[in-house]
């Protein structure tokens, strides 16, 4: 773990009142400092009391980890959450986003939003006068990436020069892994069927941020992509909103299942990650989820610590 203890508060002070819409919103230094704060919070070396601040949760898709970890993170910071599920607010009856965002900014101190389109998230951020956090869109899942790299850092110490192979769909999770990995000096390999590679603008963004001599590479062959890597990562083949493509994708992705054979080609100390929820027997075998190299449940726990650090920084609680 890098010793950033003296610098963490000053590095993170610039994040006060900022949005977190993409992994690229924070610099390398800010991202590393957030991981250090998350580590300190997890180990009980830091306690932060935000003093009864309120996080509003607007989730138009299902969630277990993100929703609950935000709720618990706010409780541990001395604050509260309010559930602004569109089914129970006027949002579900068509109240305009620009009105909703401005009204909620008068009640809440920060919003975490899970929605289908990144552009809707950007619209919320435009109209809200409080920080807005991306809790997953079609394009990115930046809170997930913070927890993922925290898990890698706990395992290996220094992140610089490590290599992570993501096998599967070039989706929101893959995008944030590329961008956040680029910022942290991690080599990221993304291996997908040809038509499911990450979109070119996100790939270009990640490559433009990989300034520590690290690389962001694309692969089509899982056996090649996993050679000698420090971490194997996968996610579902059909994301929320793509359920009707599930059957078709099962065929296209059938050679992209993370299994013992792929693990045996990685570095002997490699770890296995999955953001969850998983479809056992599709993108990952049950054996791999349960194997000694799996850090999947530590990774899930780290959502809490990473988001606690994020909320503390955005709300100026350092
Ligand atoms: N990994 C993740 O975001 O899980 P949830 O969909 O349960 O929040
Ligand atoms: N790619 C998945 C991640 C779920 C946490 C989805 O968007 O459904």
Ligand 1: residues with CB < 6 A are: 63-66, 136, 144, 275-277
Residues of the chain with pLDDT under 50: 1-3
Ligand 2 within 6 A of CB of 137: no
Other Cβ atoms less than 10 A from the Cβ of 191: the count is 24
Residue 13 and residue 71: Cα distance in Å, rounded? 23
Peptide bond into 277 cis (omega under 30): yes
Q: What is the pLDDT of residue 7?
A: 87
Phi/psi zone of residue 52: left (φ > 0), alpha (ψ -120 to 50 degrees), beta? left
Backbone angles phi, psi at 82, to 5 degrees: -120, 135
Q: Choose one of 277, 289, 299, 306 to mutate for the ligand 1 pocket test, by most ligand atoms within 8 angstroms of C-beta.
A: 277
Q: Whose CA is nearest to atom 7 of ligand 2?
A: 239
Model pLDDT, residue 211: 80
Chain length of the chain? 318
Kindly give the number of the ligand 1 atom that is closest to the alpha carbon of 135.
3
* Other residues' Cβ atoms within 10 Å of the Cβ of residue 117: 13
Q: What is d(CA 282, CA 284) in angstroms, rounded to the nearest whole number?
A: 6
Determine the pLDDT at residue 5. Answer: 55
Expressed in angstroms and rounded, the spacing between residue 9 Cα and the centre of ligand 1 is 29
What is the separation, in whole angstroms, between the first and last Cα of the chain?
A: 20
Q: How far is the CA of 99 from the centre of ligand 1 (A)?
A: 28
Q: Is 154 in the pocket of ligand 2 (CB under 6 A)?
A: no
Q: Residue 33 and residue 10: Cα distance in Å, rounded? A: 9
Pocket residue to mutate for ligand 2, from 117, 171, 196, 242, most atoms within 8 A of Cβ: 171
Tell me the per-residue pLDDT of 264-301, one tens digit each, with 9 for 90 and over.
999 999 999 999 999 999 999 999 999 999 999 999 99
The helix (H) or strand (E) run that includes residue 274 is strand 271-274
Q: What is the pLDDT of residue 212?
A: 79
Residue 28, pLDDT score: 96
CATH topology for 142-299 is: Rossmann fold (3.40.50)
Please tell me whether the overall predicted TM-score, pTM, comes out greater than 0.95 for this model: yes
Decide: 172 in ligand 2 pocket, CB within 6 A: yes
pLDDT in tens, 102-137: 999 999 999 999 999 999 999 999 999 999 999 999
Which ligand minimizes its atom distance to the CA of 234?
2
Residues of the chain with CATH 3.40.50.1370: 6-140+303-314, 142-299
Distance of CA 49 to the CA centre of its chain: 24
Could you give the C-alpha distances from 62 to 102, 161, 240, 267, 308, in angstroms and in order? 24, 35, 8, 35, 21
Q: Which sign, positive or negative, has the C-alpha torsion 297, 30, 58, 78?
A: positive
Ligand 1 centre from 65 Cα, in Å? Answer: 5
- Is the CATH code 3.40.47.10 the one for domain 6-140+303-314? no
Residues recognised as catalytic: 114, 141, 144, 235, 275, 303
């Amino acid at each position: 773990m890098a010793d950033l203890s003296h610098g963490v508060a000053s590095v993170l002070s610039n994040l006060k009142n900022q949005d977190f819409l993409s992994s690229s919103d924070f610099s390398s230094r800010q991202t590393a400092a957030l991981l250090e704060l998350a580590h300190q919070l997890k180990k009980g070396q830091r306690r932060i009391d935000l003093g009864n601040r309120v996080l509003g949760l607007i989730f138009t898709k299902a969630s277990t980890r993100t929703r609950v970890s935000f709720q618990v993170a706010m409780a541990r910071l001395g604050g509260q959450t309010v559930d602004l599920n569109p089914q129970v607010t006027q949002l579900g009856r068509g109240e305009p986003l620009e009105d909703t965002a401005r009204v909620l900014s008068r009640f809440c101190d920060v919003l975490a939003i899970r929605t289908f389109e990144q552009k809707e998230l950007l619209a919320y951020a435009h109209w809200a006068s409080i920080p807005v956090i991306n809790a997953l869109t079609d394009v990115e899942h930046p809170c997930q990436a913070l927890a993922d790299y925290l898990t890698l850092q706990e395992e290996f110490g220094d992140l610089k020069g490590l290599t992570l192979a993501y096998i599967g769909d070039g989706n929101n999770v893959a995008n944030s892994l590329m961008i956040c990995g680029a910022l942290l000096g991690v080599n990221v390999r993304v291996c997908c069927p040809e038509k499911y590679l990450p979109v070119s603008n996100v790939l270009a963004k990640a490559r433009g941020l990989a300034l520590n001599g690290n690389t962001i590479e694309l692969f089509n062959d899982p056996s090649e992509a996993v050679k000698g890597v420090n971490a194997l990562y996968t996610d579902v083949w059909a994301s929320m909103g793509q359920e009707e493509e599930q059957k078709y994708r099962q065929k296209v992705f059938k050679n992209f299942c993370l299994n013992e054979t792929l693990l045996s080609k990685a570095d002997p100390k490699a770890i296995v990650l999955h953001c969850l929820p998983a479809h056992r027997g599709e993108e990952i075998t049950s054996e791999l989820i349960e194997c000694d190299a799996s850090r999947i449940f530590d990774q899930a726990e780290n959502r809490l610590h990473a988001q606690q650090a994020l909320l503390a920084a955005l709300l100026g609680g350092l």
